[in-house]
Amino acid sequence: MLGLEGPCWVGPGPDGGLTVSEEFGDVRLFGSARQPLGSLGGLTGHTFGNPAGICTDVEGSVIVADEQQGHVTLFPRVGAPICLVSEGLRRPLGVACAPQGQLVVADAGDGDIKLYQYRSQWA
> Other C-beta atoms within 10 Å of 46: how many?
18
Report pLDDT digits (tens) over 66-119.
999 999 999 998 999 999 998 999 999 999 998 788 999 999 999 999 999 876
- Tell me if 2 is assigned to some domain: no
Question: Is residue 67 within 8 Å of 91, Cβ to Cβ?
Answer: yes
- Please check whether residue 30 lies inside any domain of the structure: yes
In a domain, 18, yes or no: yes
106, part of any domain: yes
Q: How far is CA 119 from the centre of its chain?
A: 16
Is this prediction's pTM over 0.85?
A: yes
Q: Is 1 a member of any domain?
A: no
- Whether residue 122 is contained in a domain is answered as no
Q: Which domain holds residue 36?
A: 7-117
CATH number at residue 47: 2.120.10.30
Q: Does residue 29 form part of some domain?
A: yes
> Quick check: is 107 in a domain?
yes
Name the domain count of the chain.
Answer: 1
pLDDT, tens digit (0-9, with 9 covering 90-100), for 14-55: 889 999 999 878 999 999 998 999 999 999 999 999 999 999
